[in-house]
Structure formats: structure tokens, C-alpha cells
Amino acid sequence: MVAITSACANITPSAAIGLGMIAGIVSAWAVGLKYRWGCGESLDVLGVHLVSGLIGTIALGLIALPVDRCGAGLFYGGGFTQLWAQLVACVMVMGFTAVMTTIIGVAIHKTIGFRVTTEHEIAGIDLMQHAETGYEFGGLGTGGPFVPHPATSGHLKGARTGAEALPAKKGANA
């Protein structure tokens, strides 16, 4: 889906299927690289979005259909013009994104930081930072606060878990 987003209006359905297959295979391989390289990226954004996005964007330079007899990809008689435009666009976007991400990352690092305490991470950031749970299995979201299993929460040394971690409701009697 990521690969076809940039190409959806300008390629044939059979090319879309081929593009999806190629992007899926290459993205699965790229996601596997994070384990080999020890990358701590938990959402597979690089392996899926970067890799598939680049494949789909560059593929337009190869398989784009002509629109009003111009802009065709290399395989449809358009020469290298569209392929070159797609490559330049990829480099420009990646450069802009790298600069802006670096600026944002440095600002976050210098102000609030990127990491939470080990205790908060083990207890669950949803509860410890946001005073709510991300997953309530008590039925229709009314199951009450999450309380970690005693076997995993005994080493938190004073970390607030369960109902005591939730802020008091306004107007509630103590």
C-alpha cells in the first residue's frame, strides 16, 4: 500500500500488482535488517515506509503511463526524464526530512528528552505517563484501571500502579 500511494493514478492494474509484490518482498527484507543491525526502531517505519515509499516513487520513473503524451516512464517510451525527476524528488525529500527530523530531535533531546524511567517503562507508559490504560479488557472499555501482574510489578520500587496511579476525580469524596 505504501508503494502504490504515489503511483496509483499513473500505472496499470497489473503494474500495481507487480509493484506491490516487489515492494512487499523488499520491505520484509528491510524490516529483517533492523535485527541484524541492532536498530531499536519498533514500528518498522524505515523498513516499510521508507523502503516501500522509495520503491513506489522511483517505480513511476519506470512504469508511469503517459498523460497527454508526456511524463511516461522509461518502459513506456518516456526515456530517462521521468526516472531522473523521481530520483531527484526522492533525494530532495530525504534531505529535507533528515534536516527537519534532526532539528526536531535535537529540540526534544534538549528539552524533555526521549526516554522514560525504567520503572515507568516496565509498569506501562500508558498508565504512568497518561494515567490511563491503552488496553482494558473488562468489557466495553469499562473494566477499570490496569493492574500489572504481581510477578512482574514487584520490582518497581514505589512505582504507582493500578487505581492509585490515576488522578483523583474532581468533586470526588476522599
Q: Profile the chain (174 residues) by mean pLDDT over runs of 10 residues.
A: 89 95 95 85 86 95 90 92 96 97 96 84 76 64 54 48 50 50
Show the DSSP H helices in the chain as ranges: 2-5, 13-37, 51-63, 81-111, 118-123, 125-130, 150-153
Residue 173 domain-assigned (yes or no): no
**pLDDT score for 14:** 94
Let me know whether 134 and 93 are in one domain: no
**pLDDT score for 150:** 54
Let me know whether 46 and 76 are in one domain: yes
**pLDDT score for 43:** 80
**pLDDT score for 13:** 94
Count of domains forming the chain: 2
Let me know whether 10 and 74 are in one domain: yes
Let me know whether 21 and 42 are in one domain: yes
Q: How many CA atoms within 13 Å lie on the side-chain side of 10?
A: 24
Cell of 163: 487505581
**pLDDT score for 130:** 74
Let me know whether 127 and 146 are in one domain: yes
Residue 171 domain-assigned (yes or no): no
**pLDDT score for 166:** 47
**pLDDT score for 30:** 92
Range of the domain at 133: 118-165
**pLDDT score for 156:** 47
Residue 172 domain-assigned (yes or no): no
Let me know whether 71 and 47 are in one domain: yes
Show the DSSP H helices in 64-167 as ranges: 81-111, 118-123, 125-130, 150-153
